[in-house]
Amino acid sequence: MRTASLVSPAAPATTPRVRLLGVGYSVGGRWLVRGVSFDLWPGEVVALVGANGAGKSTLLRLVAGFLQPQEGQVLLAGRPVQRYSARARARVVAVTPQSTTIEGLLRAEEVVLLGRHPHLGRFAIEGEQDRAIARLAMRSMATEALAEQLAATLSGGERQRVLIARALAQEPRVLLLDEPTASLDLRQQVQVLELVRQLARDGLTVLAAIHDLRLAARYADRLIVLRAGQVIADAPPATALTEETLAAAFGVRAAVQPDPRTGLAEVVYLPLREVPPARGRVHVVAGGGRGAPVLARLAEAGFTLTVGPLGEGDTDLPAARLCGAQVLTLRPFAPVDPATDAEHRRWVREADVVVVADCCWGHANLANLAATAEARHRLFLAGEPVERRDFTGVVAIALERQLAVGPRVPLAEVIARVREVVG
């Protein structure tokens, strides 16, 4: 359902809805944010990401006008935020806090109606038009069925959607969300962010502090990465999320690669410290991003790893190298040549266990699957059915079914199964 009456259509923007120019804010002589500059445009979802204490919530409060910058300027629709009255500012910017606690005995619809207060006179009460706008806001957040329920009895996800509906009832141009998925289960997280994404498609500007990098990469147009109150990256997720940026902002080792199913940036976390080598050599047959999750787990467990063959530029290659694996490589998009196939078969024979990811099979890489016939022990990972991954006709289907003896192994059980073999 479109929210056109909540987010009024406008001519193509020539100035940003929000502009920060060298903004700084300090408490007790310590700068919480400093030198921050960025623009927010209509129709954008921009995620603020960074470690705890990086300045995400402070920036949201500065944009909302709850704090005044000590350096630089925050402009709303081209005007400094401090020049707006609280009521006028609330007609431009709406805020949904991290806490979803709703006190008292208000029904969900009454909570949403609170969003109409910036549009009412001092002693005015809500009229039919205000109620219609509140109902439209509830419809846009899929909360119409909750209208008569006491807000305090709703689930966390339902309360979050009701609070966003209250913000929408303000008819803002900018929506600020502080950890909108905190304390929600996975389905609720996806539901809330899908709805937020739709609001942006209808023209709203959204700035959200998001803790989960994978969700941020999936739903945001841009990521603003903060470290100690300063911006170290401001770009689309695939550009902002680099191994270097993640190390600087979060102090983690990670591989970043496109998800083979969606093409969006995917983050695979790796061990923070050196792990004593475990007994056993594991060879992983992977490609197209299908091997990164199992490589991270095997590296964390300390196994000696070999991987390949992988073409240069394959999305599994950065993860394999970060894991310290020995990698057998090919020219980009080249078929497996006889020399590489012979070397691969040697690696397969030398491994204690060969783990086969749910790769896509074509004529160029079918030899990689065939080589696993020489393995002492094979584990095929559970994943996408081979019928959806076979681009050879039916050759790969028949070969994988022949080689995959026993049930396929879920990712969470791989380490235990490998240890059963190597002892």
Sequence spans of domains, the chain: 18-250, 269-422
pLDDT tens-digit profile of 110-128? 888 888 888 877 767 777 8
Burial of 39 (0-12, 13-18, 19+ CB in 10 A): middle
What is the reported pLDDT for 19?
A: 95
Same fold, 18-250 and 269-422: yes
Q: Hey, which CATH number is domain 18-250, 3.40.50.300, 2.40.128.20, 3.50.50.60, 3.30.70.270?
A: 3.40.50.300
**Entry pTM:** 0.66
Residue 306, token pair as written in the block: 């070999």
CA diameter of the chain: 84
Helices (H) and strands (E) in the chain, counts: 15, 17
Query: Left if phi > 0, otherwise alpha if psi is -120 to 50, otherwise beta: which for 229?
Result: left
Vertex 372: Cα angle to 284 and 412 (nearest 5): 40
Superfamily of segment(s) 269-422? NAD(P)-binding Rossmann-like Domain (3.40.50.720)
What is the reported pLDDT for 275?
A: 52
What is the reported pLDDT for 11?
A: 45
Phi first, then psi, for residue 128 (nearest 5°) are -65, -35
Task: Name the stretches of the chain with pLDDT < 70.
Answer: 1-13, 100, 103-104, 123, 260-261, 270-278
Whether 63 and 33 have beta carbons less than 8 Å apart is answered as: no
What is the reported pLDDT for 274?
A: 56
Dihedral of CA atoms 336, 339, 345, 348 in degrees, nearest 10, equals: -80
Other Cβ atoms less than 10 A from the Cβ of 376: the count is: 12
Token pair 């809330």 is found at 192
- Looking from the CA of 127 toward its CB, the CA atoms found within 13 Å total 6
